[in-house]
Amino acid sequence: MDTLYRKANTLLDIWVELGFADAELAELPGVQLSPRGTSEWARRRMQRVLDELDRLIEYERQEKQRLSAEIEDLLFSIDDTCTQLGQRIENVTSLAAIPETIERSHPMKRYLRKLNDELLEELNRRRTNVRTWLDAIKSYAAEIYEVHEMPPFEAYENDLTWATVQSVFVKYNALHTIVTTRRQTFENAAAKLRFYWHALRHQTSDSIDEALAELFSQYPPDIPPSLPADDIPPSLPADDIPPNLPADDIPVPQYYRHPLPSLLSLTPSCLDLLNEKLATLEEDYRDRLAKRDRYQKGILLLWGELEVPVEERTVQMVDSFDLVYLEQVGFVIADRNNTHLEMR
C-alpha cells in the first residue's frame, strides 16, 4: 500500500503543478505533497506521455481517413458494378443511396465489402456465361452450316444487364435445341442404316453411300451394328430377336463426330436424304424378314410332315437376310411343295 500511495502522490504532484488537478486534493487524508519545483519539471516528466498521446491521436486520424477512403472506394465499385448489371444501387442497399450519411466504421466496411464481392461474383458469372454462349453460337452455326452473326464479346463486356444476357441466352438455347435434335436424328439414322447395311449386305450406290461407308469404317468390325431396343421392327417376334441386335454388354458406337465425312452434315437436306434411304432399307428389311420367316417355317413343317431325316435336310435355318439365301430356301420350299403334291 505504501508503494501505491507513493505512486499516487507523485502523479498528484505532477497534475497539480500542471493544473490538471485541484490543490484541494492535497488535503485529502493519506495524500502527502512534496514540492518538486516549477511546472517545467512536471512537463518534462509528462512529455513522454504527451508525445505518446500525440502519436496515438495522429494514428487514429490517419486510420479514420484511410477507412473513409476505403468505404468511398467500395461505394464507387458497388455503383459501377450495379450500372453494368443494370441494377439501381438503391435496390441493392439503402445505405449506399446517400453516401454522405454512411457511418465510417469497420463493421460498415465489412458489410460493404461483402456486398461488393457478391455483386462482382454475379458480374463475373454473367461474363463467363455470355462468353460461353457466344462461343457455342459460333460453333453451332458452323456445325449446321448456317449464318448466325452475333456481336463480339467486347460489345457485352460492360453491358451485362439482365435483358442483354437473356437475349444472348435465348439465341444460344434456340441453336442448342436445334443442334441437339439434329445430332440425335443423325445418330439414330446412322445407327439404323449401319444395322440394315449389315443385315441386308447392302452395296453402296451413290456418293452419300460412299460417305456413310467412310463413316462406318471408323468403327471396329467386331462390334456388330445395332438398333435401339424400341426400334426393333414390330414384325419381329419378341422371342425371335436376331443375335445381331444389341446386347446390353455390347458398346453402342457414337456415329456423330464433328467434322463428318464430306457430303454428310446436319443440314435438313442431308438429314432428309438419310431418312429417305432409311425408309427404303427398313421396308426391304421387313419384306425379307417376313419372307425368310415364312420360308423357314414352311420348310420345317414340310420336313416334319414328310419325316425327312436330319441328314437329308440340306438347308440350314440361319439368321440371314441375304437374297441368295432367301432364293435358296424359297426354291427348297417350292420344290418340296411340288413333291408333296405329286405324292398326293
Give the separation between CA 182 and CA 190, rounded to whole angstroms.
12
pLDDT band at 307 (very low <50, low <70, confident <90, very high): confident
| Long-range contacts (CB closer than 8 Å, 24 or more residues apart) made by 305-313 | 305/340, 306/336, 306/339, 306/340
Of 32, 159, 2, 169, which is closest to residue 87 (Cα–Cα)?
Answer: 159
- Sign of the C-alpha dihedral computed for residues 227, 228, 234 and 240 taken in this order: positive
Place of cell 457485352: 156
205 Cβ contact list (under 8 Å, min separation 6): none
Question: Which percentage of the chain shows pLDDT scores above 70?
Answer: 64
> Can you give the residue ranges of every domain in the chain?
128-181, 190-277, 291-343
53: exposed, middle or buried (Cβ count in 10 Å: 0-12, 13-18, 19+): exposed
Give the separation between CA 208 and CA 197, rounded to whole angstroms.
14
pLDDT in tens, 280-289: 999 988 888 8
SS3 286: helix
319 in Cβ contact with 243 (< 8 Å): yes
pLDDT at 239 over 70: no
Give the separation between CA 293 and CA 241, rounded to whole angstroms.
12
98 in Cβ contact with 91 (< 8 Å): no
Of 315, 316, 215, which is closest to residue 263 (Cα–Cα)?
Answer: 215
Q: What is the DSSP letter of 159?
A: -
pLDDT at 100 over 50: yes
Q: Tell me, what's the pLDDT at 72?
A: 86
pLDDT band at 10 (very low <50, low <70, confident <90, very high): low
Give the separation between CA 22 and CA 19, rounded to whole angstroms.
7
Longest dimension (CA), the chain: 158
Q: Tell me, what's the pLDDT at 20?
A: 52
pLDDT band at 43 (very low <50, low <70, confident <90, very high): low
Question: Which percentage of the chain shows pLDDT scores above 90?
Answer: 28
Of 156, 166, 230, which is closest to residue 192 (Cα–Cα)?
Answer: 230
137 in Cβ contact with 171 (< 8 Å): yes
Q: Tell me, what's the pLDDT at 14?
A: 61
Full-model pTM: 0.65
| Long-range contacts (CB closer than 8 Å, 24 or more residues apart) made by 264-269 | 264/186, 264/208, 264/211, 264/212, 264/215, 265/144, 265/145, 266/143, 266/144, 266/145, 266/179, 266/182, 266/183, 266/186, 267/144, 267/145
pLDDT at 8 over 50: no
In whole angstroms, what separates CA 326 from the centre of its chain?
Answer: 51
| Long-range contacts (CB closer than 8 Å, 24 or more residues apart) made by 312-319 | 319/242, 319/243, 319/244
Q: Average pLDDT of 86-90?
A: 78
Give the separation between CA 256 and CA 187, rounded to whole angstroms.
6
246 in Cβ contact with 226 (< 8 Å): yes
The H helix count followed by the E strand count for the chain is 8, 0
76 is written with which cell numbers? 464507387
pLDDT band at 219 (very low <50, low <70, confident <90, very high): confident
320 is written with which cell numbers? 440371314
314 in Cβ contact with 279 (< 8 Å): no
